[in-house]
Amino acid sequence: MRDVVRIVDGVPNLASQQALGGACEGCACGKMSVTPFFHRSASQVKTQRILEVVHSDVMGPMNPKSKGGARFVVTFIDDYSRYVSVYMLKSKAEVLKYFDNFRQLAETQTGSTLKCLRTDNGGEYVSKRFNQFCANHGIVHQTTTPYTPQQNGLAERMNRTIVERARSMLYYQQVDKCW
């Protein structure tokens, strides 16, 4: 900073502010980042039982398509058990169909009913059909604040994990980059 003051005309001498023990306001503002979201500690209880809260997110479009023509992936993650279900979709319009498949299978296998679904505000989740489905089955649908993927961090992190694992397997098998 001293070099900048010496070389450039018009830059104020900040020696007096630095002598006070603090950085200048410009430095503080320039180094700011987004305030981190609250993270639960491992000792805090997430949920009390299976299917109390399920997180979901859609990832895609993927390029190239799968051999079956799928371009999207939807994940459903149980908050309590961290059990993950992944479905390949040809279009985002299929999310409701696969959510119903997941719900039926999970409720049958566990004997519990799904209480709450946490998603982002993607169009596939906020449609009238989707909201009506949730209302008919007694499912509370929580959506995140727009442009805050951190609020659905469990699903977002799972998406990243899936992509990293798939990429690693393709690299290991030396599959051509077009796949």
Token code pair at residue 23? 């950085």
Could you count the other beta carbons within 10 Å of the beta carbon of residue 68? 7
The stretch 77-91 carries a mean pLDDT of 95
- Please tell me which residue, 7 or 131, carries the higher pLDDT value: 131
Q: Looking at residue 55, what is its pLDDT? A: 96
For residue range 142-179, list pLDDT tens digits in order.
999 888 888 888 899 998 998 888 888 888 888 776 65
CA 15 to each of CA 21, 23, 170: distance values in angstroms, whole numbers, following the listed order? 10, 10, 55
Does the pLDDT value for residue 128 go beyond 80?
Answer: yes
CA 142 to each of CA 2, 72, 117, 131: distance values in angstroms, whole numbers, following the listed order? 52, 22, 6, 11
Q: Tell which phi-psi region holds residue 60, choosing left (phi > 0), alpha (psi between -120 and 50) or beta.
A: left
Q: Looking at residue 110, what is its pLDDT? A: 96
Token code pair at residue 178? 């077009």
Q: Please report the domains of the chain, with CATH numbers, ordered by start residue.
A: 1-31 (no CATH), 54-172 (3.30.420.10)
For residue range 36-55, list pLDDT tens digits in order.
556 554 444 578 999 999 99
Q: Looking at residue 82, what is its pLDDT? A: 93
72-78 β-sheet, strand order: 84-89, 72-78, 54-59, 116-119, 140-143
Q: Looking at residue 65, what is its pLDDT? A: 85
For residue range 110-123, list pLDDT tens digits in order.
999 999 999 999 99
Find out whether 68 and 54 touch, Cβ atoms under 8 Å: no
CA 96 to each of CA 9, 36, 42, 43, 61: distance values in angstroms, whole numbers, following the listed order? 62, 32, 32, 34, 17
Sign (positive/negative) of CA torsion 87, 89, 92, 97? negative
Does the pLDDT value for residue 126 go beyond 80?
Answer: yes
Read off the pLDDT band of 61 (50, 70, 90): very high
Q: What is the pTM of this model?
A: 0.73
The stretch 128-150 carries a mean pLDDT of 94
Secondary element (H or E) of residue 56: strand 54-59
Q: Looking at residue 37, what is its pLDDT? A: 58
Q: Looking at residue 44, what is its pLDDT? A: 46
Find out whether 144 and 121 touch, Cβ atoms under 8 Å: yes
